[in-house]
Structure 1
Amino acid sequence: MPKIVDKAAMREAILQAALLVFQAKGYHAARMSDVATEAGLAKGTLYLYFASKEEMTAALAEGYFREIELRFMPEQPAESLDEFIEGLRTALSFGEEEARSIPVFFEVFGPSFTTDAFSQQVSKFFETLGECYGEHLSHLQTKGALSKQHNPSQLGRALAAMLDGLVLHRGLFGVPTERYVAMVDSALLLFRAGLSPAHD
C-alpha cells in the first residue's frame, strides 16, 4: 500500500527547514540541496513542492504576513475611537522574544527585496492593511467619532506606515521595552488627538 503523504504538512516542514538554512547560511549562500538535507528529503522530492529558492521565500513571506494580518487587522469595526486605539495598542504589544524575531525577517527576506515579485508582495500587504484601517476609520466617521476633515482611506495607509515604523524601531534598534511602550503611547495619543471630531 503506498504511503499517504500529508502534502500541506510536508510543505510546512520544508518551509521551516528553509528558514533554518537561510538563517544559518544566509539567503544567497543557501542552496536547494541544503534545504533538502535539513528537511531530510531527496533533492528531487523537494522540487515536487518548490521549483526554486525564490518560490520558497515567497511562501515563507506569505505565511509571515498572514500571521501579521491576524494580529493587526481587526475583524469587527470598533464602535468608538478609544476602542480602535486600544486595538492598535494591543497589536503593537511586542515582547522581548517577538522583538528579537524582527531582525531575522530581514536576514532571511532582505535579499528578496531586490526582486519585483517580493517587493510587490510586501507592497500589497501594506496596501491591504491600509485599506482595512481605512474601512474601520470610515465606519467611525459615519458614527461621528472621527473628524469629517479626514480622508479615511489616506489616513488608513498613513497609519499602516506609522505602525510599521514603530515595530521596526522595536526590533531593529533594540529599543528597550519601557521606552518602546512610551513611544507607542505617545504616537497613539497624538494620533487620537488629531482624529477627534472636536476639530470640525
Structure 2
Amino acid sequence: MHQLKREALLREAIAAFNQKGFHATSLDDIATSLGVTKAALYHYFPNKHSLLFEAFTEALRVGFDAIRKAQDSGGTGLEKLQMAIQEYLQVTLSELSRCVIITEEHALSPDDRVKIVEQRDRFEAALRGFVRAGIEDGSIIPCDPKLAIFSIFGAVNWVPKWFSEKGAWTNKQLARGMSELLCRSIAKNPPAELPIDISKLKKM
C-alpha cells in the first residue's frame, strides 16, 4: 500500500510538472489534486526536488528497458533505434504518466543532477550505438550519431508537453507514428510514405 500511494503521488507530480513546469508547480498543488495534505506528501517525499529526481529516475529506467528490448530484438541498427524510440514513448505516454519534460534538468539539485546526467549520458550513448551500427550495416545514411540522437530525442522529449490521452491517438499509435517519422530522417532506404492518419494505425 505504501508503494502504491508513493507511485500515485509521483504520477500526479509528473503530470503537474509536464503541464505547468517544475517552478510553477507547488506541493500544495499536488496535494490538492490528490485530496491529501502536504504533510502526507512529506511522508513519501521530503521536498519537491526529490519528486523531480524520482521522475527523472523513472523516465530513465523506462529508457534503459527500451534499450534492452531493442538490443534483444536483433535486426538492423535502424530497426533497433526505431524499436527503442517506440517502446520508450509507448510506456512514458501510458496512463501511468511516467514521462517527464527533460528540459527541467536545470531544476535538479547539484548532486541529483550529477547522477541523472551520468545515467542520461549512458542512455544516449546506447542510442548513438544503434546509429553507428546502422551506418555500418547500411540501414542508416552516414551522419553524426550524436547530432542525430540529439535531434530525434529533442522531438521525443517534447511529446509529453502536447500529448493527451483524451485525444484521437492512443499512446501506442503515437509511439509507432513518431518512431517511423523520426527514423525516416536518417534511413538509407526510407519508406515512400508514412501513415497519413495515425489514428487509423492498428491498436497493438
Range class of TM-score, shorter chain:
0.5 to 0.7
Question: Structure 2 unaligned runs (5+)?
Answer: 138-143, 163-175, 190-204
Q: Does residue 34 of the first structure (1) align with residue 29 of the second (2)? A: yes
Task: Specify whether residues 135 and 170 from structure 1 end up closer, same or farther in structure 2 by C-alpha distance, changes over 3 A only.
Answer: closer
Relative to structure 1, the CA distance from residue 123 to residue 35 in structure 2 (aligned partners, 3 Å threshold; closer, same or farther) is: same
CA deviation after TM superposition for structure 1 residue 178, in Å = 8.0
> Cα distance, 1:65 vs. partner?
1.5
Kindly indicate whether residue 160 of structure 2 is the aligned counterpart of residue 185 of structure 1.
no
Correspondent of 2:119 among 106, 125, 129: 125
Aligned residue type for 1:189? K
Instruction: Give deviations 1:113-141, integer Å, cap 9, x for gaps.
Output: 2543454344222332255468889xx8x
Q: TM-score, normalised by structure 1?
A: 0.57
SS in 2 for 1:55: helix
Q: Could you tell me how far 1:76 is from its partner in structure 2?
A: 5.0
- 1:77-117 per-position Cα deviation (integer Å, ceiling 9, x unaligned): 676xx5343221222348x999999xx843xx534425434
- 1:168 counterpart = 2:154: yes
**Aligned residues: percent identity?**
17
Measure how far apart 1:71 and its partner are. 1.6
Q: Is there any run of 5+ residues in structure 1 with no aligned partner, and where?
A: 1-5, 141-145, 148-157, 191-200
Task: Describe the superposition over 1:28-76 as per-residue Cα deviations: whole angstroms up to 9, x where unpaired.
Answer: 1322122122222222121011111000011111111211221233475
The code of the aligned residue for 1:129 comes to: F
Q: Give yes or no for contact 1:50–1:56 (8 Å, CA) kept in 2.
A: yes
Q: 1:69 aligns with which of 51, 57, 64?
A: 64
Partners of 2:43 and 2:184 lie apart in 1 by 48
Per the alignment, do residues 87 and 26 of structure 1 end up closer, same or farther by CA in structure 2, a change over 3 Å counting? closer
Other-structure match for 1:3: none
Which of 9, 15, 20 aligns to 2:15? It is 20
Q: 1:76 to 1:170 in 2, by over 3 A?
A: closer
- May I ask how many residue pairs the two structures share in their alignment? 162
